[in-house]
Amino acid sequence: GQSLEQPSEVTAVEGAIVQINCTYQTSGFYGLSWYQQHDGGAPTFLSYNALDGLEETGRFSSFLSRSDSYGYLLLQELQMKDSASYFCAVRDNSNYQLIWGAGTKLIIKP
Amino acid sequence: GAGVSQSPSNKVTEKGKDVELRCDPISGHTALYWYRQSLGQGLEFLIYFQGNSAPDKSGLPSDRFSAERTGGSVSTLTIQRTQQEDSAVYLCASSLAAGTGYNEQFFGPGTRLTVL
């Protein structure tokens, strides 16, 4: 079957660094995406990795290891506004649709 | 330009009634996706359109659910004989194309459906 696994909840302190892991098992692989969703809001795109390595965008970075079927989202200098759910999603190149993880709720404490 | 819009934003209906949910994608986006999200849960894929055709309907939960897209633009998700378990937020997303390269999905604000 096809599945993505990520922790259901992560807690961190404001100003700290947090890493949200995602492992996947899919029939095809085109790339790993990360989306952010605030409570009551719609998911918004954060990053995309098609090749191995680290992609950095401001305070957020995303990493991919295709050989390990693993990726992570790294959030630095956490701010209270980063409290949200974070979803990893894999593009299955046989269907070209995104297969979504269940999401990780990030709780930030002052 | 305008983003993805959905209507209504909220819908309360009685069990057994039919409902129609509408999605207006970003102009020029040929791919359109419908998802369902229950409270505190992840996104459940329902169906996607490439143009007016739906290559993948595998996510539709039952034959009470159907969707169409006309003119390569607006899409309607119809739920017949609604059940309480249909209560969820229905999200629509669009992207430039499905099939070549990577195309970020842009989401609408969703329709919150409550079946009493």
Beta-carbon contacts below 8 Å between A and B? 48
Round to whole Å and give the CA distance between B62 and B79: 9
In chain A, residues with a C-beta closer than 8 Å to the C-beta of B104 are 33, 45, 48
- At residue B86, the pLDDT reads 97
Query: What does the pLDDT read at residue A34?
Result: 95
**CA separation for the pair B50, A65 (Å, rounded):** 30
Tell me whether residues B43 and A43 touch, CB distance under 8 A: yes
Residues of chain B falling short of pLDDT 50: none
Predicted pLDDT at B55: 82
The whole-number pLDDT of residue A93 equals 65
CB B74 within 8 A of CB B21: no
B48 and A97: CB-CB below 8 Å? yes
Q: What does the angle CA B10 – CA A38 – CA B91 come to, to the nearest 5 degrees? A: 40
Half-sphere exposure at residue B100, Cβ-oriented, CA atoms within 13 angstroms: 3
pLDDT of residue B78: 98
Tell me what pLDDT residue A18 has.
97
Nearest to B113 by CA among B26, B28, B58, B36: B36
**What are A28-53's pLDDT values in tens digits?**
888 899 999 999 899 999 999 989 99
pLDDT given for residue A5 in this prediction: 95
Does A96 score more than 70 pLDDT? no
Q: Within an 8 Å CB–CB cutoff, is residue A50 touching chain B?
A: yes
Q: What does the pLDDT read at residue B1?
A: 54
A100: chain B residues, CB-CB within 8 Å = 42-43, 45
Over residues A81-109, mean pLDDT? 88
- pLDDT of the residue at A62: 97
- Minimum distance, in Å, between the CA of residue B97 and any CA atom of chain A: 9
For chain A, the average pLDDT equals 92
